Every structure is written in structure tokens, then in C-alpha cells.
Amino acid sequence: MNSQLIGGCEMSEQNAETDLGAVMYSSRAMRRLEPRVVPEPMLIKLIDAANQAPSGSNAQLTRWVIVRDPEQKKKLAALNRLHGAPHIAADVAKPKDAKLKRMLDAVVWQMDHLHEVPALIVACYDYETVVDGMDIYRKAGSVWPGVQNLLLMARSLGLGAAPTTLALRDQGMVREALSLPETFAALCLIPVGYPQGRFGPVTRNPVEDIMRFDRWSDH
């Protein structure tokens, strides 16, 4: 059986698959995070994991900004509230069910405490030319595999995270806040820290409800 080096430890293919499965099936959105500092080597490890993901034409043009400076975090928190509060206002006022209310309570908590989260990671794409409007989503798909790698690595390290895009709705404001080149588009914000809650099984629709072979049917 082949072995590989993961996180500095030799691991068999079977164990690696088992560990990855456990991580995948217990990764939930963690929005309530502790303010205590996440060590820099752990943050770098998250980006290294993200960097292993595939990208369109293997262009490798995803760029990452880890925001730890308190003043910089306040800027992103302000943008998150500016664009996020109106977006969720109707649902917060009258949630459809208890499950949605729990999720919205966590979103509101995150909005109130985003500046206290130890690290805000912004995933960007460098288009190598000036882009704006809907054009910024042309190659956005290349960013998301890296985001998922980052989330899985965070879970494996005992860190909580949950991706959001609310703070990034005005690219000009984000570029100014983070001194991004005009060829960059910020596509995802990932608050990262030690979770206040616990990891555990996630609730998902049964696979037989969401999958068909060969063509879609009602049965």
C-alpha cells in the first residue's frame, strides 16, 4: 500500500481516505468564533492546502489575503454590515422556520463580531486585466475548489470557518480597503478561528433525492 506525507506525518492511502471522509462528513458552517489568535503557521497551512486545488487551464491565478490587522478587519466588518444587513433584514424580521432562525442568528452574531475574528481570509482572482460588473464572475469557478480545500483543512486543524460574499458586493470598496490591484476581484471572505460550538454530523438531503444516472427523472 502506498503512503504519503500529510501534515508532516506519513499516512497510508486507506487512513488518508478515512480521515478525509471524517472531515467531510463533520464539516459545518462555524460562524461563532473565539477571538483568540490562530497561530500563523496554521493560517499558512490553510493557504497551502487551498493552493493544491485545480484551476481552469491550470492558470493558478487565485490570490489570498489574510487580514489580521484590527483596523483592516474593521473595514471589512463595516462592508459586511453595509451590504449584509439589508440583504437579510426581511428574513431576520420574519424567519420561515426554526432552522432558518438559528442560521440567521449566527449570521447576525457574525456581523456583530466580525472585527473580533482572528483572521479574515479573502480569496481573490487575478484576471490580469481590468474587470468589473458581471465580468468578474467569468473565471470565478477557479477560486472555489481552493476555498473548499481551505475549509476542509480548517476542519482537520480544529478551526471553524464559513464562507460569505456579503462584504464583497462593491469591488471598488474592497479593492480600496485591501489595496488590491485593479486586475483583482475579491470573490469570497472566509472568517477563520477556533469555534465556540462543536463539530458534528451535518444534515443534508438524501443522495437519492439529488442524483440520477444518465438523465433526470422524477423517480
Give all domains of the chain, ordered by start, each with its CATH number.
38-196 (3.40.109.10)
Q: Inform me whether the pLDDT recorded for 16 exceeds 60.
A: no
Percent of the chain with pLDDT over 70: 92
**Cell 477557479 sits on residue:** 142
All three cell numbers of 16, joined, read 488518508
Find the mean pLDDT for residues 165-179.
96
Alpha carbon distance 76, 178 (integer Å): 9
**What b/e sequence results for 170-197 when a residue is b if at least 16 CB atoms lie within 10 Å of its CB, and e otherwise?**
ebebbbebbebeebbbbbbbbbbbbbee
Confidence of residue 14 (pLDDT cuts 50, 70, 90): very low
pLDDT of res. 216: 96
Find the mean pLDDT for residues 194-212.
92
Contact yes or no for 17/29 (Cβ under 8 A): no
Write out pLDDT tens, residues 67-84: 999 999 999 999 999 999
Confidence of residue 99 (pLDDT cuts 50, 70, 90): confident
**Cell 489570498 sits on residue:** 64
Find the mean pLDDT for residues 35-63.
97
CA atoms within 13 A on the CB side of 211: 5
pLDDT of res. 205: 93
Task: Characterize the bridge pairing of strands 160-161 and 184-193.
Answer: antiparallel
pLDDT of res. 96: 82
All three cell numbers of 24, joined, read 467531510
Is the CA virtual torsion 108, 206, 140, 66 positive or negative? positive
Alpha carbon distance 218, 86 (integer Å): 37
Lowest mean pLDDT among 88-102, 138-152, 157-171: 88-102
Q: Which amino acid is at 142?
A: S
Q: Residue 112: phi, psi to the nearest 5?
A: -75, -25
Return the higher-pLDDT residue of 195 and 87.
195
**Cell 462592508 sits on residue:** 79
139 closest CA partner among 64, 58, 67: 58
Q: Inform me whether the pLDDT recorded for 9 exceeds 80.
A: no
Q: Residue 192: phi, psi to the nearest 5?
A: -130, 135
Alpha carbon distance 93, 88 (integer Å): 9
Find the mean pLDDT for residues 131-158.
90
Q: Inform me whether the pLDDT recorded for 13 exceeds 70.
A: no
Question: What is the CA angle 96-100-101, rounded to 5?
Answer: 90
Mean pLDDT (the chain) is 89
Q: Inform me whether the pLDDT recorded for 1 exceeds 70.
A: no
Q: Inform me whether the pLDDT recorded for 11 exceeds 50.
A: no
Q: Inform me whether the pLDDT recorded for 2 exceeds 50.
A: no
Percent of the chain with pLDDT over 90: 70
Alpha carbon distance 122, 138 (integer Å): 18
